Each structure stands twice: as C-alpha cells, then as structure tokens.
Amino acid sequence: MPSSPPPSDLTVSLRSDDTAHVVTVEGELDLHSRDRLADMLARLPKPPMIVVLDFSGLTFIDSTGLKTLLEEHRRAREERYEFVIAGAIGPVREIFRITAFDITLPLVDDVDSVLG
C-alpha cells in the first residue's frame, strides 16, 4: 500500500492594497507544498501592479518551488506586473545563489524596499 506524502510545513498568507499584493510564505516550499503557493498566486485579484513574495520566514526551497517562482516571473512579464521576492535569507538565499536565480529573479532585502 503506497504511503501518503508527509505533511508539509508551509503557510501562505496574503495582504493587499490598491497597488500591491504581499504574499507571506513561511516554512518549507517543496513538492508537497508548492501547489499551495501556486494556487494563491493564480487566484490573486487584479489590478495591483506589484506582487511581492515575502520569503523572510521561508526555511527551505526545492526545485519544484524554484519552478513555481519561474512560472510566476514569466506570467508577470506576460501580464505586465512587477514580481519581486523579498527577504530571502540563509539556506534559501544560498539556493538562489547556487542556481543563479539571484540573477534571474528580482530579489530585494525586505518588503519595505519595494513598497517603501
């Protein structure tokens, strides 16, 4: 009998105003949790022109999480809104550096750097 995937420790929350959606992502973004983030991003109401992912509480990201970010970055270019990742630190920031996502994706130190 196949075992079910382990529960993933990821929380995703949203706060919005007239110009921006800030999606706070905490825990581990992996194969078992990526759909939670992808679904939230797909359901974001328009027209805010900025989507900020607050990764200050993200502790882990795998290749499926990275793919989700690339998909959202591509969609942002196609639909003409700004997409920014804020607050990635520690192991998550190191993964971005190793994979060169720190060059590919717009990264900033914190949410205030974008919304300031």
At 8-44, the pLDDT tens digits run: 689 999 999 988 999 999 999 999 999 999 999 999 9
Task: Give the burial class of 106: count Cβ atoms within 10 A of its Cβ; 0-12 exposed, 13-18 middle, 19 or more buried.
Answer: middle
Where residue 6 falls among pLDDT bands split at 50, 70, 90? low
In a domain, 116, yes or no: no
- Judge contact between 35 and 53, C-beta under 8 A: no
User: Which residues form the domain of 86?
Assistant: 10-111
CATH of the domain at 88: 3.30.750.24
Residue with tokens 């805010």: 48
Q: 49 or 85: which carries more pLDDT confidence?
A: 85
In a domain, 24, yes or no: yes
Q: What is the mean pLDDT of the chain?
A: 92
